Every structure is written in C-alpha cells, then in structure tokens.
Amino acid sequence: MKITDVRTTLLTGPCTNDPFLREARKLRSAAFIEVLTEGPTGIGETYAGYFCPEAVPAIVDFFRPILVGQTVDDIPELWKRMYHCGNFWCRVGLGAIVLNGIEAALWDLKGKLLDLPVHALLGGSKHARLPAYATGGPSNYPKEKLAQKMDHYFSLGFRGLKVGAGSYTAGKGWYMPNTPQEAADFEGDKVAFMRQHAGKDAWLMMDAHMGNSPGATWSLDVAIAAARAVEPFNLFFFEEPLHYTDPWGYAELCRATEVPIAGGECLTASYEWKVFAEQDSFDIGQPDASFTGGLGEFLAVAKMMANRGRKVATHAWGAGASLMQNVHAGFAAENTCILEIAPDYAGLHADLIDGGLILKDGYVVPPDRPGLGVILTDEIKSRYPFQPGSGEFNSVPGKILST
C-alpha cells in the first residue's frame, strides 16, 4: 500500500496529572507525524515537539516528497534516503530528531498493515518483562513533600522512581548546590532520606539535568563529590551529572565512582553517540526513540553500548507516541535494563495510548497492539489545540518561559 501524504500535527495539553510535577510545569507541547495511505495511517512523534514545535512542520515537509508514492516494505532504505538528502544539516541535531518521528510513523504503519507490534518488526522482544520507573521531575521540598511524592508513585504500581538533583519548593523556586562540599552534603542527605523512606528494595535514581540545568552546570569535581556522597545508598543510576560537551569528563566520572553513571538523552544519531561510547562515557546509555534519530538508530546505539559491556535505559519524556516508541525499542534491545515511564500522565499520553501499555508489579510487558499502539483522532486534535510558544526552553534575558 503506497504512501499518499505525510503531515504534522502540533498539540498542546496539560503536562501531567502528577501534582508534584505540575508544581514546576503546567503545559506540554507535542509534534506528531502522520504517514497516510488509502488504508491505515502511521503515527509517530518527535521529541523536538516538546522543545521547538514550530520548527517541526517545515522539516517534515522537506522530507515528504521522498516518501509519497513509496511503500513501507523497506523502512531502513527510506530512512537512508531521507538522512542522505539532509546530509549537510541532519547528521545530528534537529534534522535527525524530526526524522525520528517520521521513521516511527513508518514502523507504526507497517505494524498496522501486518497486524504486528513494532517490537516484532524490529527483531522481536528480547525480554518477557522489563522494570519501569516513574519519572519524578524535581525533588519537591520540604522533605515531607518529597516523601509524599514517593508514596504517590508507589501507589501507582511503580517500584522505582527518579527525582532531580537539588530541590524545587513551590513559591520559592529552584535550589541547586554548586560546590563539591555543598553538593555532597545536600545530595547525600537527600538520598539517605529517600532510601530510608523507600526501603532497601526500591529502585532509586537521581537526575542532575546538567545537559539542561535551570541553574549553573556542575563541574567534574562537583559531580564526583555528589556521586561519591550517594554511593552508600545503592542508586540504580545517577543521570546526567555533567554537560554533554564533555564526554571525556563523563568517562573520568565513571572511573571515579561506584554509582552507575547514565546519560545520552540529548545525543542524536549513532554518529554523535559513537564519540561517547568509545570514551566509555556512560555505564548506562539513555537513547530516546523519539529523539536519537529513529528506532533503527536506537538499536544501533544499544548495540554500540552492548559491545562496550554497557546497558541502555530508555529516555521517554515526550507524549504518548514517544513513550510507546521507547517501550517497543526497549523491548527489542537485548541490553535494556529499565524503562522510563511518565507517571500519572495527562491527555497527551492517556488519550493516545491504545491500552497496550501494561504495568504490573513494577514491570512492563511487551505491548501486543498492532504498530505502536497509539491513536490520533480528529476529536483528540480538537481537544488539545496547539498554543504557540508552549514548547519548553531555558529562560534567558529576552525569552522567558511562562508555561
């Protein structure tokens, strides 16, 4: 069945139903790519829609003529054609990120045509189930609120959760320790409290957000001090303690601490990932199957990490299609150790996911719906009209985030 059109849908909706995450972020934007035929429509998402949604449609339109009139018999070949066509500007970065959403829509379409889940098209599920953790966003303070936050996620069926370095207090804003001693004292005290509250068997993770920090970015000595301070508390991983311009610093950090260091959510295409993999910059890589460049690129990254004796853990903070892309890719990769799940999600997740995401006893099982298991109806589109400027960015003088 031939492709008749490729189009972009931009939407804006509530960021989450999670009352703790909602303290810091009220809205989310999303960009979905639809690949149309005379029969079913393939749906994919690019995580670029969360940050710069207005930029997505023009890039989709650039690639559209390559796909119209083609079939989904050979998706890797279609990806190669698009990637080569944009060679000067899409080897890494925004072009590859948007291309990710187009390629995901092609896989979704093929799955619908063959009545198979996408992970089956990617070589089959390598796991009977995978552990999942709740993305908690900031560490809501005071500590009593942080404890309530943890209990909320456990009540939803999660056995693991991740919260940010520093803290966020409603009405007061962000706090981020910025010296080695300050970071060691604050993060060590906080994680000790979390472990005591959660018990020894919970999967606990920290995210320093240093690729996208709301405040100052940590130096290597600060990151080492923070990591060593939390070593006694058995973290599953410590995510993004350094900026992504320093793969060599990441490698040194991995050697300096017993805590597994994770990262990679901001990296695009296997070309960029290779720099970090060859430095052994991460103990656990975090490709995002709506950002890395494609589901095929996700698997290339996973293999790259496996060849270095490393694991991968999905990154997934896009909307519903982004989440399902990561779930399918995670099950298709042999070295996936855990899945990131947006907890207590709102309509741009709940309305799109077609019942195929099942969490039981803290684990997710392989989805069984055809394609990715997402829907995007006209009613959903009308319910969440796009609001220009609703993408997330770091506030700077002249451009302040207000949503």
Round to whole Å and give the CA distance between 269 and 256: 28
Residues 86 and 159 in one domain: no
- Residue 162, both tokens: 């991740």
Instruction: Tell me which residues of the chain have a pLDDT lower than 70.
Output: 213-215, 403
- Residue 400 inside a domain? The answer is no
Q: Are 316 and 212 part of one and the same domain?
A: yes
Instruction: Tell me whether residue 391 is in a domain.
Output: no
Q: Which helix (H) or strand (E) holds 325?
A: helix 320-332
Whole-prediction pTM value? 0.97
Please name the amino acid found at residue 134. Answer: A
Please indicate, yes or no, whether residues 94 and 142 belong to a single structural domain of this protein. Answer: no
Burial of 328 by CB count in 10 Å (0-12 exposed, 13-18 middle, 19+ buried)? buried
Q: What share of the chain is helix, strand, coil (3-state, %, to 5)?
A: 40, 20, 40
> In terms of domains, do 17 and 97 share one?
yes
From the list 51, 42, 47, 52, the residue with the least C-alpha distance to 96 is 47
> Which of 136, 108, 141, 135 shows the shortest CA–CA distance to 122?
108
Question: pLDDT per residue over 287-325, tens digit each?
Answer: 999 999 999 999 999 999 999 999 999 999 999 999 999
* Total domains present in the chain: 2
Residues 47 and 145 in one domain: no
As a whole number of Å, the CA-based R_g of the chain is 20
Q: Which two tokens stand for residue 101?
A: 């959403």
CATH number at residue 38: 3.30.390.10
Local structure of residue 53 (DSSP, 8 states): G
Quick one: 229 and 185 in the same domain? yes
Residues 227 and 303 in one domain: yes
Note the pLDDT of residue 214: 56
Alpha-carbon distance values, 285 to 70, 133, 141, 238 (Å): 34, 16, 29, 11
What span, in angstroms and rounded, lies between the C-alpha atoms of 47 and 293?
10
Co-location of 147 and 277 in the same domain: yes
Per-residue tokens: 19: 């009352």
Q: Is the dihedral of CA 133, 261, 332, 289 positive or negative?
A: positive
Does a structural domain hold residue 395? no
Residue 154: which CATH number? Answer: 3.20.20.120
Lookup result for tokens 């279609």: 78
Domain assignment present for residue 398? The answer is no
Q: Range of 127's domain?
A: 121-364
Question: Does residue 371 form part of some domain?
Answer: no
- Identify whether residues 181 and 322 lie together within a single domain: yes
Tokens of 346: 């709102």
Hey, what's the torsion of the CAs at 92, 97, 98, 101, to 10 degrees? 140
Contact of 210 with 176, CB cutoff 8 Å: no
Residue 345 domain flag: yes
Note the pLDDT of residue 199: 98
